[in-house]
Structure formats: structure tokens, C-alpha cells
């Protein structure tokens, strides 16, 4: 006669199941540079979009990644730009045909290359293969 055992209210334990709420940690998102075709973290690449004009389409840099439409990714590096143009990679990546004006893009890349020197974090700057 020693009193009642305390009632065990099992309803207290939260037994919610079926919800996988853990976040899968992925590696950094990567894209392929349309110039040198190497994969790189997106933040090392410059997003490029094409703006269709009457007769000429323009390639525009999209550093804040806000412009609508398809984007191509390129190292902000004149060498990669040249490669991409030579193999018409922009047309393939951005799905357009015809004449394209890359003046603004080239200007942007040249300016960013000059101001920031060589991009930090890229170990290899030995690919300066310039045909003279």
C-alpha cells in the first residue's frame, strides 16, 4: 500500500516520423567554363547572358547573377574569352545563332583583370600560351 506509481504519460515523447529534415551538405556548386572547359566553383566564374538585338546580339557580363535567361559561365580571363569565341561556345551554351557582339563583355573582363591582378585562389597561372 505504498501509493500509486506515477503515471507515465507516454504522449510526451515527440515521435514524429517521416520527415527527413536534415540538410544534405553538398559541395560547392560548380560550372564548366565555356572557354577552357574546366569546372570551377560558380563564384570563380562570370555569368554571361546574351541580349538579342535587331541584327546583332550582345554578350553581357552578369556579375550579380540576376539577369534572366540562359547563362553561360566563363573565367573572367581574356584567354578563356578568346577560347570561347574561337569555338563559338557562347552560341552553343546560350542557344543562339548569328552575329554576336562581345565588346562589352571583353571590356568588362579586361577591366576586371587589370584591377584585380591575377584572381586569387587560382593556383595555375601558367597557361599563358600566347601565340605570337
Answer yes or no: are the C-beta atoms of 41 and 28 closer than 8 Å: yes
Is the alpha carbon torsion for 36, 37, 43, 45 positive or negative?
positive
Is the alpha carbon torsion for 61, 62, 67, 73 positive or negative?
positive
> Of all helices (H) and strands (E), which one includes residue 49?
strand 46-51
35 binds Zn ion (CB under 5 A): yes
Cα gap 73→38, rounded to integer Å:
10
User: In whole angstroms, how close is the CB of 87 to Zn ion at the nearest point?
Assistant: 12
User: In whole angstroms, how close is the CB of 75 to Zn ion at the nearest point?
Assistant: 3
Rank residues 33 and 94 by Cβ distance to Zn ion and give the closer one.
Answer: 33
46 binds Zn ion (CB under 5 A): no
73 binds Zn ion (CB under 5 A): no
Q: Which stretch binds Zn ion (CB under 5 A): 9-17, 28-36, 88-96, 98-106?
A: 28-36
Rank residues 57 and 75 by Cβ distance to Zn ion and give the closer one.
Answer: 75
Cα torsion for 85, 70, 43, 73, to the nearest 10°? -20
Q: Which stretch binds Zn ion (CB under 5 A): 4-12, 72-80, 102-110, 111-119?
A: 72-80
47 binds Zn ion (CB under 5 A): no
Binding site for Zn ion (CB under 5 A): 33, 35-36, 75, 80
Amino acid at each position: 500500500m505504498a501509493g500509486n506509481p506515477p503515471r507515465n504519460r507516454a504522449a510526451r515523447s515527440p515521435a514524429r516520423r517521416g520527415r527527413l529534415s536534415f540538410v544534405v551538405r553538398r559541395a560547392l556548386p560548380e560550372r564548366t567554363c565555356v572557354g577552357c572547359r574546366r569546372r570551377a566553383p560558380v563564384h570563380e566564374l562570370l555569368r554571361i547572358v546574351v541580349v538579342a538585338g535587331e541584327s546583332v546580339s550582345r554578350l553581357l557580363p552578369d556579375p550579380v547573377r540576376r539577369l534572366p535567361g540562359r547563362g553561360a559561365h566563363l573565367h573572367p580571363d581574356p584567354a578563356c574569352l578568346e577560347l570561347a569565341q574561337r569555338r563559338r561556345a557562347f552560341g552553343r551554351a546560350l542557344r543562339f545563332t548569328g552575329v554576336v557582339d562581345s565588346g562589352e563583355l571583353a571590356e568588362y573582363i579586361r577591366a576586371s583583370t587589370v584591377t584585380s591582378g591575377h584572381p586569387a585562389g587560382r593556383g595555375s597561372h601558367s597557361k599563358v600560351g600566347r601565340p605570337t
